[in-house]
Amino acid sequence: MNAREEILGRIRTALGPDRPAPAEVRRDYRLADGRPPGDPALLDLLIDRLEDYKASVVRCAPPDVAVTVAGALRGALGEHSPAGVVVAPGVPSGWRPDGAVEDDGRPAVALAEHAATLTGVSVAIAETGTLVLDGSPLSGRRALSLLPDCLVCVVEAAQVVGSVPEGLARLDPLAPLTMISGPSATSDIELQRVEGVHGPRTLVVVLVG
């Protein structure tokens, strides 16, 4: 008997011939926050949560995204080469800082040579301060938001939901998903939180609207 059949057989033996019907799972926890996506209070909550985990947040109106992104990059990187910034292919031209290069599918490790990345997001969850990137052209492939040391994410107000269940309901379970809550961090030394280990050490969120 192969391992698969044997393990399945053991499970059937363990559960016995008259296995009880599984009890129904009651989902009487909060399925929704109650506030609609983009509600001003949700935006405030998102900002509070992001800042609590040492992300920086700047807000702007829709026409000012590129200017705001450029300002944020200057703040994070100082004077820098424009070509040091790589953007996800689906990022609208109206968001891109001058001189930024587009991710063209080069070998993933080559992305490490860039100083910063600009992407959009798929959804943001206010209660936990979480951004979700879904591998779409707007979010970019996973290595893009990982290797450069500074990550700038543009979040549109309508993408901001309140709770984790609302956030997951908007996602495609088959997509390569990355949920990001603040910059990379560790608490492995004396439980003291240190931001920035292997992932981007700087996370800037540009909240539009």
Residues in region 119-158 near another protein by CB under 8 A: 125, 127-130, 135, 141-143, 146
State how beta strands 194-195 and 185-186 pair. Answer: antiparallel
Q: Rank residues 58 and 181 by Cβ distance to another protein and give the closer one.
A: 181
Indicate whether 190 belongs to the interface with another protein (CB under 8 A).
Answer: yes
From residue 28 to residue 67, the character string flagging contacts with another protein as x (rule: CB under 8 A) and all else as - is: xxx------------------x---x--------------
Instruction: Report the residue from 41, 67, 74, 186 that binds another protein according to the rule CB under 8 A.
Output: 186
Q: Is the distance from CB of 95 to CB of 72 less than 8 angstroms?
A: no
**Least spacing, CB of residue 79 vs another protein, in Å:** 23
Q: In sequence order, which ranges of 16-92 are alpha helices (DSSP H)? A: 40-52, 65-77
What are 202's two structure tokens? 């700087």
Residue whose C-alpha is closest to residue 165's, from 20, 30, 38: 30
Q: Rank residues 97 and 134 by Cβ distance to another protein and give the closer one.
A: 134
Q: Is the distance from CB of 69 to CB of 101 less than 8 angstroms?
A: no
Q: Rank residues 77 and 185 by Cβ distance to another protein and give the closer one.
A: 185
Instruction: Report the residue from 108, 156, 170, 209 that binds another protein according to the rule CB under 8 A.
Output: 108
The residues pairing with 125 across neighbouring beta strands, listed in sequence order, are 130, 161
